[in-house]
Chain A
Amino acid sequence: MAVCVAVIAKENYPLYIRSIPTENELKFHYMVHTSLDVVDEKISAMGKALVDQRELYLGLLYPTEDYKVYGYVTNSKVKFVMVVDSSNTALRDNEIRSMFRKLHNSYTDVMCNPFYNPGDRIHSRAFDSMVTSMMIQVC
């Protein structure tokens, strides 16, 4: 269902990006990259809210003709961006939310790995398979 999943570091460079139509990967790179503008905007708007009350899920960042881009930001300002086919109307906000939560949990596991240096690209098989499951899972 998700066609592209990206994890973006606090300094706005990709830690992980994977998309299903691999032949046009760059398109998704551009899409996720430009979505960061909206993420930044949303974060700065949220800045005033108390940290513990902050909603991590940013909701729909922007729709394009074929896709919808959703965002999620952790408390450490690591961003998750998911691109979903806009033809898939079955996807509700709640499902997106739960997918992000799964992604966040998996990311936390990656960070718990003592051999992972924060800031490096993620090369985790467990994370990979989790992302794969999110991409092919049909609901």
Chain B
Amino acid sequence: MSVPDYMQCAEDHQTLLVVVQPVGIVSEENFFKIYKRISSVSQISVRDSQRVLYIRYRHHYPPENNEWGDFQTHRKVVGLITITDCFSAKDWPQTFEKFHVQKEIYGSTLYDSRLFVFGLQGEIAEQPRTDVAFYPNYEDCQTVEKRIEDFIESLFIVLESKRLDRATDKSGDKIPLLCVPFEKKDFVGLDTDSRHYKKRCQGRMRKHVGDLCLQAGMLQDSLVHYHMSVELLRSVNDFLWLGAALEGLCSASVIYHYPGGTGGETGARRFQGSSLPAEAANRHRPGAQEVLIDPGALTTNGINPDTSAEIGRAKNCLSPEDIIDKYKEAISYYSKYKNAGVIELEACVKAVRVLAIQKRSMEASEFLQNAVYINLRQLSEEEKIQRYSILSELYELIGFHRKSAFFKRVAAMQCVAPSIAEPGWRACYKLLLETLPGYSLSLDPKDFSKGTHRGWAAVQMRLLHELVYASRRMGNPALSVRHLSFLLQTMLDFLSDQEKKDVTQSLENYTCKCPGTMELLTLPGGPTLPPVPFTKLPIVRRVKLLNLPASLRPQKMKSLLGQNVSTKSPFIYSPIIAHNRGEERNKKIDFQWVQGDVCEVQLMVYNPMPFELRVENMGLLTSGVEFESLPAALSLPAESGLYPVTLVGVPQTTGTITVNGYHTTVFGVFSDCLLDNLPGVKTSGSTVEVIPALPRLQISTSLPRSAHSLQPSSGDETSTNVSVQLYNGETQQLVIKLENIGMEPLEKLEVTSKILTTKEKLYGDFLSWNLEETLAQFPLQPGKVATFVVNIKVKLDFSCQENLLQDLSDDGISVSGFPLCSPFRQVVRPRVESKPVNPPEGSKPGDPSHVKTLEAILNFKYSGGPGHVEGYYRNLSLGLHVEAEPSVFFTRVSTLPATSTRQCHLLLDVFNSTEHELTVSARGNEELILHAGECQRLQDNPPSEIPEERQSYFPLRGIWLQIGDKCEVRVKLSSRRGEASVEGLLNQLVLEHLQLAPLQWDVLVDGQPCDCEAAACRVGDPVRLEVRLTNRSPRSVGPFALTVAPFQDHQNGVHNYDLHDAVSFVGSSTFYLDAVQPAGQSACLGALLFLYTGDFFLHIRFHQDSASKDLPPSWFCLPSVHVRALEAPA
């Protein structure tokens, strides 16, 4: 006996062994079809009794095992069923002969046999025979099951008779000695009459009867016989058979306790017909433990034929604990015999199965440990594999998954042992796959994406390497690529630098032939291998969707009010919806991409490998919108730090696009890496809206591009900056070419300008344009160009460089007027003393430090195409950088009286601060040529008349108006032209003194206007004095008072006002006036009587009620009137 049956379990002790074999040429398919039908009849209830027969079918059984049939009767082949093909009657005798030959093999033990003949028809088939059944073909054989049942019943009859025959042997009769094959020679020459020998015979026979009882379905009887046998054999130290008796006892007890069976699947199948559910069957029978062996039932003096007393009493049954003890004992006895190795091994296996049901894993593992050491004869490779596999299975059964995996792996290695001529790589691979759960390794990379890898990396890596190798030798490169990718992806942290190199090297070798894909690989056994995306090659740390560049960013027109306001709630803000907002913000980014425009996503990646990593075909994976991804290839240096990579693509349709991940090709393996599966990736949202296409505008200008960037505080991003240098007051045209470089027609254009905050005071319009001419060329089709002209005019106040002005002007503003003329203009010396006259050394005119810069942004809002319909526009900004240099300065202002009292000439000293020759002209006057650094006086002619409307508008600023509006100084520098403004020059102080009083004064002495000459009068005659007031302003003036005070000027600076005895007033010297209406006149009439001759002056003083400051100072000093009193003629 050398071939162990690892599938044995305790229940097999109660089965009858039937061998089913083909004879002649029977196709395997047909044979197993019939075999399956035959094996379905595994349990037969014997007629007119409660007993049940169990049949074990085998299609292969080594005859040498049959020789152990006396030792344990379930090892004995009692039935033979032969299946054969026979198509003609001619072949029949030959076939029948073969059947007999077959019978001979197991002949000694067979109770009965059957021959099933398929295909034969005719007269031979007609004759009824008990041992032969004829069937026309393999399909038409309904009676097979019935035949088998009959056959089994015939077996039962033989069995029953044998049992009775053996059991009723009289104790006095000579009982033959049963023995196992290797014992036979030991007993030669032994004294057969000794008591010892007899007992041995008796014990062995008892054991044999027990076996037969068990097979015949008489469990209680068998228990009794086994107990007796144990007692008998123990006394004669017949250990081998004692072991067998104990094992029989155990088997019977197990059958009693676990009617569901211990053999797993086969046991369950056996119980299919029963009403007892499988779970309940695995439980102990209630009360079974209490049943103890009744010592009274054990009689040692001979075999008691009457076992009926014990029937129905289960007390002989072993308790579950005892079963294990007895198994241990039995195994220890078996182990004394080297030749009983198979028996010992099988007993171990059976015990383990029982322990597995009892859930006593520790003890089971001890049995298995023992089984490992049972040394059988030199096993063939196949047997070794079988043995390791079964060990693995048993370990699995008791929950020792790691141990199970270990043995399965050993079995797998055995499949491809170098001693095997044809290594079974396929089987090896299959077994290796089965070990995966034991090493807590799943081939799904998703299980490894959560945090750091926690597992027994050393053994897992080993297993993966073996899988790779096995799959390669199997001739399935796709599998090995998949496994190798998996190894690289999941075990990256555990690989040494050298291993990383080796693994990638071999991966590259494999992928040359079979590139790695993202498809599920289906294994032959049914499980699938999920794809392995290389999320760690390179490692992505951050994913950021980039907005379009500022010039291409779409903006929503504000016209549709309330679109942004959430319609869900009437509140502008509520904490309840704030939560939702937060969520949305996480998902959706608040900028838009535009259909047809290149959009960018920035990834921060790094290479964990100790060598350069080449990533090819890296692109974006998106959903929601048709997206044309433009893949990139990159090469990351070894152990690089974070490295920015920009992936680009063009959305082809509109909607909401979600960036799900990216795809790469690394070492020839395609990977689709989804962001959701990436650990530790920072992302600021991955969903963005794609709006319909918009045109694209490109602008080019006539001016050179500027390297200057605008002030950082500007806030607006500009795409282009241009710069220009201008002299102050100069005007230049900026021609802008607008080209539509997009795919959509440009329909709308709006231009706005924004002057960046500057401290400089700016006069007039800096930028001006006429959009109509440009808009006439619209809509602008793709590729077409339109022009747009902007006038740049720089008018800055350089006069605040006061030191220059002060330096050059001798006496400030000298306003010379006629003394008696009204208005009186006072000579002003503004702040000369207050300012130190020491200009800084560097502040020469034309010095670069005097250059002032002006910055402005021209915004082009444009739209068109489908995006325009949706209400989007784009904004293109052009930064304008203007450097203004001073051109001419007005260094001095003075006035000359003009012909009219209300007009004057303005004299300006003009200084050319440029390095060029200038031509200056003022309102039609001849041109004045100014050389560089030269200063000349320029006269400005007053207009003939002040326009009425201006006057009425600015009543107090008559002259100023003339200057402001009319005094334009044109400057010409070669071809460049400009205007110099005096606005800054005439500051408030100057202006106040140039202002014109609202009232016009006319002093009449004796009815004659007293303008310039002294009026003459006679002493003693009253002189009529009339002060006529004409209001030229639009509002009424008053109330006020006028006082006339006469005085004499002694020409030495002394004014003598004490003239009460020289001059006398007729009437009042003070006039009160309520109001002078606009454009109205008012007169104050009085008379003077001069008592002495002499030159008198009249000082007319002006008083106002409230000393309100809204009247210019010139009011308070009205002109003096000169009167010469002459001797009265005699």
Chain A residues engaging chain B, CB cutoff 8 angstroms: 9, 11-14, 17, 25-26, 29-30, 33-34, 36-38, 41-42, 45, 62-63, 65, 119
Contacts and interface: CB of A to CB of B under 8 A. Distances in A.
Nearest to B404: A37
Contact of A38 (B362, B373, B455, B456): B362
The 3 closest A-B pairs by CB, nearest first: A37-B400, A29-B458, A34-B403
Contacts of A42: 362
A26 B362 contact: no
A2 to B, nearest CB: 19
Contacts of B458: 14, 17, 25-26, 29
Interface string B470-486: 00000000000000000
Interface string B386-413: 0000000001000111110010000000
Given A25-B458, A38-B400, 11 more contacts: A11-B454, A12-B456, A13-B454, A26-B458, A29-B458, A29-B462, A37-B402, A41-B361, A45-B362, A62-B365, A119-B454
Nearest to B407: A34
24 contacts: A11-B454, A12-B456, A13-B457, A14-B457, A14-B458, A25-B458, A29-B456, A29-B458, A29-B459, A29-B462, A30-B459, A33-B406, A34-B403, A36-B402, A37-B365, A37-B399, A37-B401, A38-B400, A41-B362, A41-B365, A41-B399, A41-B400, A42-B362, A62-B369
B993 to A, nearest CB: 84
> Taking each of B400, B402, B440, which has the highest tally of chain A beta carbons within 10 Å of its own beta carbon?
B402
B454 A33 contact: no
B580 to A, nearest CB: 37
Contacts of A25: 458
B315 to A, nearest CB: 31
Nearest to A37: B400
Nearest to B451: A119
Contact of B456 (A14, A45, A62, A63): A14
Given A9-B454, A12-B440, A38 B459 contact: no
A19 B399 CA distance: 27
A45 B360 CA distance: 10
Interface of B: 361-362, 365, 369, 373, 395, 399-403, 406, 439-440, 454-459, 462
Nearest to B494: A121
B365 A38 contact: yes
Q: Which of A13, A34, A45 has the most CB of B within 10 A?
A: A34
A42 B457 CA distance: 24
A37 B454 contact: no
Nearest to B455: A13
Given A38-B362, A41-B361, A33 B459 contact: yes
Contacts of B440: 12
A39 B347 CA distance: 26
Nearest to A17: B458
Contacts of B402: 33-34, 36-37
Contacts of B439: 33
A33 B456 contact: yes
Given A33-B406, A34-B402, A38-B365, A26 B462 contact: yes
Nearest to A11: B454
Nearest to A14: B456
Contacts of A29: 456, 458-459, 462
Given A13-B456, A29-B456, A37 B362 contact: no
Contacts of B454: 9, 11, 13, 119
Nearest to B395: A37
A29 B403 CA distance: 12
A109 to B, nearest CB: 23
A37 B456 CA distance: 14
Given A12-B440, A13-B454, A30 B365 contact: no
Contacts of B406: 30, 33-34
Contacts of A62: 365, 369
Contacts of A119: 454
A39 to B, nearest CB: 10
Contacts of A34: 400, 402-403, 406
B344 to A, nearest CB: 18
B120 to A, nearest CB: 57
Given A11-B454, A62-B369, A26 B400 contact: no
A41 B373 CA distance: 22
A6 to B, nearest CB: 10
A119 B453 CA distance: 11
A25 B457 CA distance: 13
B442 to A, nearest CB: 15
Given A13-B456, A29-B456, A62-B369, A37 B462 contact: no
A11 B439 CA distance: 13
A33 B407 CA distance: 12
A12 B365 CA distance: 20
A30 B490 CA distance: 20
A34 to B, nearest CB: 5
B447 to A, nearest CB: 13
Contacts of B365: 37-38, 41, 62
B467 to A, nearest CB: 16
- Residue in A29, A30, A36, A42 whose Cβ sees the most chain B Cβ within 10 Å: A30
Q: Which of B361, B369, B373 has the most CB of A within 10 A?
A: B361
Contacts of B369: 62-63
A9 B452 CA distance: 14
Contacts of A9: 454
A31 to B, nearest CB: 9
A27 to B, nearest CB: 11
Interface core residue of A14, A29, A41 (most chain B CB under 10 Å): A41
Contacts of A41: 361-362, 365, 399-400
B400 to A, nearest CB: 4
A42 B362 CA distance: 8
Most chain B beta carbons < 10 A, residue from A17, A25, A33, A45: A33
